Chain A
């Protein structure tokens, strides 16, 4: 393909991606986190969550992980009265950086990254996979664990090709 045409297509794609991120209010840091938002507000704007779970402190969490092709995920954490105490995007750099191979468990991975989009096994060892944007490029984020649930590594694989360990 002509390099000029390729650059134009890439620029259009990047623009669309940035516009998409900026256009989704849920992606704004602090959205729903002004202290007054409730479960009702979250349900009204985001709909039914894809997953409901309770953390170590017994707090109710609603995850919005979209479908299997989704690149974005969000989480609302509520206090005991149903008020939002935290709203955040999932699978950020900070989430990945907080996972430590040999120390973090499958439970930590689940709490940090949410439900995987895909799950596969290599020689009996579970691998959980998500779709993420990294450096504005689409990637697979893969968490590799031992059968007893200990994290062995996290790797990013460019959907365009090439892999990079965290």
Chain B
């Protein structure tokens, strides 16, 4: 891309309109490259990153969770996680202990009809994007980056009845 920009600059006899177009193409390519790098960077949160750095880089989490021991986790989903849903778990000093990608094929495969509870579903896949009620029960929609959403339906016993949208 830099070579392309250099070539455009070094063409003194090119018509002005053509040069402007080339500059626009170059600028668009540069913008795309920066955007792509940001998307990659936002999931690469190394262990030891301080909570305030995470907040500064990624914004407010979509959900804050605590486990039985009081360990705090932040979930980034949907618009706030353009390259995929993930959960950051902090240690007692407020530094990232673990960055976990949610909504991977392996995690969807762990959802079992008649077995997985609503609580386990949240721990596996994170905050649902939307909950609607259907004839069968509560339909929880989980959005995925670059793939169609997965809908998990929970019955009255708060266990999974079915899952659609995941092959």
Contacts and interface: CB of A to CB of B under 8 A. Distances in A.
B64 A54 contact: no
Q: Determine chain B's interface SS by DSSP, over half rule.
A: mixed
Interface in B47-85: 50-52, 55-56, 60-61, 63-66, 68, 70, 72
Contacts, number: 80
B132 A82 contact: no
Interface in A91-123: 105-107, 110, 115-116, 118-121
Contacts of A3: none
A107 B90 CA distance: 13
Given A43-B138, A48-B131, A110 B118 contact: no
Interface residues of A, number: 32
Contact of A60 (B130, B157, B158): B158
Given A39-B133, A60-B158, A120 B127 contact: no
Contacts of A116: 60, 64
Contact of A110 (B64, B92, B156): B64
A107 B119 contact: no
B22 to A, nearest CB: 42
B119 A43 contact: no
A107 B70 contact: yes
Interface in B114-167: 118-119, 122, 127-128, 130-133, 138, 156-158
A147 B51 contact: yes
A153 to B, nearest CB: 17
Nearest to A83: B156
A14 to B, nearest CB: 31
Contacts of A44: 133
Contact of B119 (A49, A58, A81, A126): A58
A121 B70 contact: no
A80 B60 contact: no
A48 B96 CA distance: 30
Given A43-B132, A58-B119, A106-B72, 9 more contacts: A39-B138, A48-B130, A51-B127, A60-B119, A81-B157, A82-B158, A110-B64, A120-B55, A124-B51
A-B residue pairs, 10 tightest by C-beta: A147-B94, A121-B52, A107-B66, A54-B119, A48-B130, A48-B131, A43-B133, A40-B133, A107-B70, A119-B60
Interface of B: 50-52, 55-56, 60-61, 63-66, 68, 70, 72, 92-94, 118-119, 122, 127-128, 130-133, 138, 156-158
Interface of A: 39-40, 43-44, 48-49, 51-54, 56, 58, 60, 62, 80-82, 105-107, 110, 115-116, 118-121, 124, 126, 147-149
